[in-house]
Amino acid sequence: MKQPLVSPLDRNVNKEAEEMAIFYEETLGFTPNSLFTMMHRPRIAQAFLEMNQAVMENKGRVTSALKRLLAYLSSKTAGCRYCEAHAIRAAARYGSEEDKLNHIWEYKTYPAFSEAERAVFDFAIAASSVPNAVDDEIAANLRKHWDDGEIVEILGVTALFGYLNRWNDSMGTQLEEPAADDGVKYLGKLGWTRGKHEY
């Protein structure tokens, strides 16, 4: 794209925007441009923030790092370069081991990943595919390692990033430099580029 579909609003446009900027600076170290395109309709931005906080809240074994790694795989499956970079950056910031960050696409065989994590990643990829590829085998394997509440959290992350993938790829959201740096660092060897998100 030659330019984003809609330009983001300024973070200081109103009090709501300022408050959201503060929340995301803690999460990512910067405020995402995607949020400020949503701010053209503040209820959408506010509803997204609430959903994001609910989905990313930790209730037990589905850790912050695991949620961000599955978000990366979900976004990679959907093809959203913007969200791939954001998710891998967030995974690093929320404690994912360097070894896992560098070998995420080898999760099926790489020894740093547990069978429970493999079940999550298989599910995230299948759930993010179009058409949806979740089948009885993938579902049974997920249930083998995770309880119902944990599965709801896992699918919550996948669904949240489904929204973000469509938002940012359709919007052509400009990728922020800190996310781009982590995209290159962790994903460049896998062929990652900014794609349509560079202007």
Q: Is residue 132 part of a domain?
A: yes
Q: Is residue 178 part of a domain?
A: yes
Q: How far is CA 77 from CA 61, 81, 128, 145, in A?
A: 24, 10, 6, 23
Q: Is residue 4 part of a domain?
A: no
User: Taken in order 194, 185, 103, 87, is the CA torsion positive or negative?
Assistant: negative
**CA neighbor of 85 nearest in space, from 150, 26, 36, 32:** 32
Q: What is the pLDDT averaged over residues 75-102?
A: 97
Question: How do residues 15-68 score in pLDDT, each as one tens digit?
Answer: 777 877 887 787 788 989 999 999 999 899 999 999 999 999 998 899 999 999
Question: How do residues 111-162 score in pLDDT, each as one tens digit?
Answer: 999 999 999 999 999 999 999 999 999 999 999 999 999 999 999 999 999 9
Amino acid in position 133 = A
Q: Is residue 36 part of a domain?
A: no
Q: Does the structure show a pLDDT above 80 at 12?
A: no
Q: What is the pLDDT of residue 16?
A: 79
Q: Domain tally for the chain?
A: 1
Print the domain residue range for 77: 61-190
Contact criterion met (CB below 8 Å) for 110 and 122: no
Query: What pTM does this model have?
Result: 0.94
Q: Is residue 73 part of a domain?
A: yes
Q: Is residue 196 part of a domain?
A: no
Q: What is the pLDDT averaged over residues 75-90?
A: 97
Q: Is residue 49 part of a domain?
A: no
Q: Is residue 84 part of a domain?
A: yes
- Which CATH number belongs to the domain containing residue 119 in this structure? 1.20.1290.10
